[in-house]
Amino acid sequence: MAGMRSGTAIDGFRLAYDRSGAGPTVLLLHGWPGDRTDYREVVPLVAAAADVIVPDLRGFGESDKHAADPAGQYSAVAQARSLIALIGELNLGPVALAGYDIGSRIAQAIARARPDLVRALVVAPPLPGIGDRILTAKAQREFWYQAFHRLELCTELVDGQPEAVRAYLRHFWSHWSGPGYQLSAGHLDHLVSVYGAPGAFAASIAWYRAGAGSVAASLAEQPPAPFAAAVTAAVTS
């Protein structure tokens, strides 16, 4: 997987990224358990009309992976710092920003912090407003892994053990994929190559240890003030 790397380290992290096409800039953010190759079939379609940049997030793929405080260095806000810096380094101006899974959360963090850098925002779940619906029995049958990722036992069982990584990632790519989709053996091999080295899987789940998973993030959301109350507060402040 040959790509470029950001020139400036933010918090000690440099990002690997691919760039192709020409035109208005589109920045694509991947999910877990993946890397920038998640968009391998999308990029050729978009690059026909746009300048497409696809980075590996902190802790993923060929980007830097450090043993660091998860809340300080792997949260959505921390991930956003690296991407905002990349936008600035490449002098991109406002971009069309798209993300799914953890990439969706990070895209939202970028838009909140620097709306001037976002020309358009395209996000797939998770979306704001889930709230405590995520605690329903049906939802929790799917979100068990988020609590598991916060246990040291998780890294003891999986990190640095390629065959355990293969079995674990294969479960999610099979269970979550749409009807008829089959992850190729070659791409599973690729994911094992970037998740299987000692420390790589641990870096990828630092997101969840930062409290940035869907369960923690959804329960921390606060509903916006009613419109009339918000207007009154703005006028009187």
The answer to the question of residue 232 being in a domain is no
pLDDT at residue 231 in the model? 57
Q: Please give the biggest Cα pair distance in the chain.
A: 61
Which residues, at least 6 apart from 17, have a Cβ–Cβ distance to it below 8 Å? 3, 4, 5, 6, 36, 53, 54, 55, 56, 86
The answer to the question of residue 231 being in a domain is no
Q: What is the DSSP-derived secondary structure letter of residue 59?
A: T
CB-side neighbour CA atoms (13 Å) of 228: 0
Share above pLDDT 70 across residues of the chain, in percent, rounded to a whole number: 88
Please state the domain count of the chain. 1
The answer to the question of residue 175 being in a domain is yes
pLDDT at residue 76 in the model? 95
CATH number at residue 105: 3.40.50.1820
The answer to the question of residue 157 being in a domain is yes
The answer to the question of residue 216 being in a domain is yes
Q: Token pair of 77, please?
A: 């806000």
pLDDT at residue 104 in the model? 95
Domain encompassing residue 130: 4-224
The answer to the question of residue 167 being in a domain is yes
pLDDT at residue 192 in the model? 98
* H helices present in the chain, as ranges: 43-46, 70-73, 76-89, 102-113, 137-140, 144-148, 152-158, 162-175, 185-195, 200-204, 206-209, 214-220, 227-236
Q: What is the pLDDT along the chain (237 residues), one digit of tens a residue?
A: 458 998 889 999 999 999 999 999 999 999 999 999 999 999 999 999 999 999 999 999 999 999 999 999 999 999 999 999 999 999 998 999 999 999 999 999 999 999 999 999 999 987 777 777 777 888 888 889 999 999 999 999 999 999 999 999 999 999 988 888 889 999 999 999 999 999 999 999 999 999 866 666 665 666 666 655 555 665 665
Q: What are phi and psi of 55, to 5 degrees?
A: -95, 155
The answer to the question of residue 46 being in a domain is yes
pLDDT at residue 1 in the model? 41
pLDDT at residue 67 in the model? 92
pLDDT at residue 226 in the model? 67
pLDDT at residue 221 in the model? 65
Where does residue 149 rank: exposed (0-12), middle (13-18), buried (19+ CB within 10 A)?
buried
pLDDT digits (tens, 9 = 90+) for 166-207: 999 999 999 988 888 889 999 999 999 999 999 999 999 999
The answer to the question of residue 230 being in a domain is no
Q: Which helix (H) or strand (E) holds 120?
A: strand 118-123
